[in-house]
Structure 1
Amino acid sequence: MALHKLHVDDFYDDSFSLIAIHCSLEDYRLAYLLNKHLNISLVRKPQDLDYKYFAATYSIFEWEDEKQHTTWNLVSNICKREEDGLQSSGSLFNTSNTILKTYHLLPEFKNVDYLIKVMNEDQSFDEKQILDTLQSIPQLVTSYNIDVEHIKSKDNLIF
């Protein structure tokens, strides 16, 4: 009997741009500023991204530009959750011990707060102009392009 193999890597296309954003804004406030300055219409998706078996959820905003055949995604890179900590059974007092755990969508970029993923089929995307516009927003600390080829956890960017 013949053995057929299907390589999933053949179907995954890296034709997207990834921009890192450093800022201390809430996700909805950042989406508002991006909509205002970039003339886009990001809308929060009804369901957040769930990774690590429901331990971490990341907010995601999306806009599909029908004219340019472009899909924009704004996704949070940080998820902070309170979890119950280990408690000693020999404790005299009954205290609840909670730990604040931090998860990252892209663990190799722990300092990045948000990511903008722009998927464009015909590669007519002016990345320099977008970065210049982002740098002009006073509430953002910095923004820069991330080389997608060197990301180890790029599977987390499939949504």
Structure 2
Amino acid sequence: MCTSIYQVTLDHTHLLARTMDWPLLAVSPLFVPRQFKWATAFDHRIYTNKYAMVGGGSLSATRIDVSDGVNEYGLMAQKLTFANGAHYVDERNQEKVHLAAYEFIFWLLGNFRTVAEIEEHLNEVELMSEKNSDTKYGNPELHFAVADRTGRIVVIEPTQNPLRI
């Protein structure tokens, strides 16, 4: 089980850190530039991230999986194990952004500056099961911690649809 660690430094910088309690650490440092184009595992729709980010994870032609990171505006995010009944959507809806749960952090960091912005747009995204996906990816049980420069920190747990903070 991983643990989130939230700290405020003496100069009032907000830091979101974590432990990674995995028997095999399959995470590498990564940098993703602004305007990075990528396709989702669920339906292969192409998106372009607005913001650059650094973090830990893996990027390949078939899978984008960011465990944690920070973008150029100081938005910090983590994906964490969630064995409490994650609920993902089965049916497609062309009006929504459809993501595999492990892609959610990548989408957040690439498109938002603050927790408040995420809150305004959270209803635009659905975390999808693999039932009707173009790519099979199992059932990753995840939840997410997100913090910004203002010091606001929230948790997003996919126990219902639409998602909520």
> Which protein, 1 or 2, shows the higher relative CO under an 8 Å CA cutoff with sep ≥ 6?
1
Structure with bigger helix share is 1
User: TM over 0.5, yes or no?
Assistant: no
Q: Which protein has the larger Cα radius of gyration, Structure 1 or Structure 2? A: 1
TM-score, L = length of structure 1: 0.28
TM-score, L = length of structure 2: 0.27
